[in-house]
Amino acid sequence: MKRSDFLKYGGAAMLTPFIPFGNSKGYPLAERVIPAGLKPGDTIGLTAPAGIVFDDDEFDRMEEILEEFGLNVKFGKHVKKRHGYFSGTDEERAEDLNNMFSDDSVDGIMAVRGGWGCARILPLLDFDIIRKNPKVYCGFSDNTTLHHSFLAFSGLVSYHGPNGNSDWSDLTKEYFNKVIMRGEMAEFISKSEVKTINPGKAEGILIGGNLTILTTGMGTMYQASAENVILFVEDIGERTYKIDRMLTHLSRAGVLDRISGFVFGKCTDCSAGNDPTFSLKEVLEQHLKPLGIPAIMNADIGHDKHNFTLPQGLKVSLDTGRGSIKLLEKPVA
């Protein structure tokens, strides 16, 4: 599809326009489409848009976990392939994802894992098909790229939540069930000790994902945002100075000035290194204290065993006193 074609889509659904981070022209515009939730007996398609699942036993474990929710599982044609460090070529990974959206026997879609590769398939995705066949899409980490592009080009609300190969703790299962299966306007309460950076309450559109992926998508047409965002981020394996560098980039691009609240999830296996450094909390305070917006850290979002299922593009409230995010709209249709 040509870039100009995306401006043609208005459609029914909700009326919140989205614009890419750092793009003052506000292109592309799309209206939100909230997909139907999943119910026992539905089929969830498992696709690999990025990295490889090396252990074939993992596919059996994914199937067993999703069957606990009463779901049938359908694997993509190329999901077990290997091509360098990708699960198939760019064309094969895009084909699987396009087919999952167009396949009437598939009710929802989940990524088997993250890694790297989602950004490479973006020009090969058929956003017409995605918009005309709205379905739950769940995943995190590198899937941040897909969440933002779905919202920007198809208006599709998708779900930053477990991948197939996630640990699936009780909390992870609980919120996947609440949000995607039961469609509750859930309040996300972490089991971890949430720390306050700036106190207060705020409302806004929930947008975010992996900080590294979000930052590297800056300046492209595929990254969606909105004014008055509650921005959530998480990361893995990054030193503190790199977190500082990425937040500085978001600040210089004008992103942090446009948000109404901030949630830092987990920074899993992140370290200060051996050099003199700031703590993660100090870095967050340096960037967020001057903004005066409500902000928390250490929420159960990310690469740890506990991982919320968060709808991208819906209105939420942030309450630092409770350390919680609460949905203000139904997460599924």
* Residue 303: active-site member: yes
% residues pLDDT > 90 (the chain)? 84
Classify burial at 300, counting beta carbons within 10 Å of its beta carbon; exposed 0-12, middle 13-18, buried 19 or more.
buried
Question: Are residues 131 and 31 in contact, defined by beta-carbon separation less than 8 angstroms?
Answer: no
Q: How far apart are CA 33 and CA 133, in angstroms?
A: 10
Q: Is residue 133 part of a domain?
A: yes
Q: Is residue 91 part of a domain?
A: yes
Using the 3D structure, point to which of 138, 168, 198 is the last residue of a domain.
168
Q: What is the structure's pLDDT at 224?
A: 74
- Angle subtended at Cα 314 by Cα 328 and Cα 310, rounded to the nearest 5 degrees: 95
What is the pLDDT averaged over residues 109-133? 97
Q: What is the structure's pLDDT at 313?
A: 93
Q: Is residue 181 part of a domain?
A: no
What is the pLDDT averaged over residues 67-94? 97
Q: What is the structure's pLDDT at 225?
A: 66
Tens-place pLDDT, residues 140-171: 999 999 999 999 999 999 999 999 999 999 99
Catalytic choice (87, 95, 141, 160): 141
Q: Is residue 208 part of a domain?
A: yes
Q: What is the structure's pLDDT at 227?
A: 75
Q: What is the structure's pLDDT at 213?
A: 97
Let me know whether 223 and 256 are in one domain.
Answer: yes
Question: Are residues 141 and 210 in contact, defined by beta-carbon separation less than 8 angstroms?
Answer: yes
Q: Is residue 280 part of a domain?
A: yes
Let me know whether 194 and 160 are in one domain.
Answer: no
Q: Is residue 177 part of a domain?
A: no
> DSSP letter at 269?
T
Tens-place pLDDT, residues 22-39: 333 333 445 889 999 999
% residues pLDDT > 70 (the chain)? 89
Q: Would you place residue 88 in the very low, low, confident or very high pLDDT band (cuts 50, 70, 90)? A: very high
Q: What is the structure's pLDDT at 256?
A: 93
- Indicate the helix (H) or strand (E) that contains 174: helix 170-176
What is the domain count for the chain?
A: 2
Catalytic choice (303, 306, 317, 324): 303
Checking phi first, is residue 71 left (phi over 0); if not, alpha (psi -120 to 50) or beta? beta
* Residue 192: active-site member: no
Tens-place pLDDT, residues 25-79: 333 445 889 999 999 999 999 999 999 999 999 999 999 999 999 999 999 999 9
Let me know whether 69 and 135 are in one domain.
Answer: yes
Catalytic choice (234, 238, 260, 317): 234
Q: What is the structure's pLDDT at 299?
A: 98
pLDDT at 3 over 90: no
Let me know whether 161 and 191 are in one domain.
Answer: no
Q: What is the structure's pLDDT at 228?
A: 86
pLDDT at 94 over 60: yes
Let me know whether 38 and 162 are in one domain.
Answer: yes
Using the 3D structure, point to which of 168, 195, 211 is the last residue of a domain.
168
pLDDT at 173 over 70: yes
Helix, coil or strand: residue 288: helix
Q: Would you place residue 219 in the very low, low, confident or very high pLDDT band (cuts 50, 70, 90)? A: confident
Q: What CATH number does residue 318 fall under?
A: 3.50.30.60
Cβ neighbour number for residue 8 with a 10 Å cutoff: 9
Q: What CATH number does residue 111 fall under?
A: 3.40.50.10740
Question: Are residues 183 and 332 in contact, defined by beta-carbon separation less than 8 angstroms?
Answer: yes
Tens-place pLDDT, residues 268-316: 999 866 667 899 999 999 999 999 999 999 999 999 999 999 999 999 9
Let me know whether 118 and 265 are in one domain.
Answer: no
Let me know whether 74 and 135 are in one domain.
Answer: yes
Let me know whether 236 and 313 are in one domain.
Answer: yes
Q: What is the structure's pLDDT at 226?
A: 63
Domain carrying residue 30: 3-168
Kind of pairing, strands 201-210 and 315-319?
Answer: antiparallel
Q: Is residue 176 part of a domain?
A: no
* Residue 58: active-site member: no
Classify burial at 58, counting beta carbons within 10 Å of its beta carbon; exposed 0-12, middle 13-18, buried 19 or more.
middle
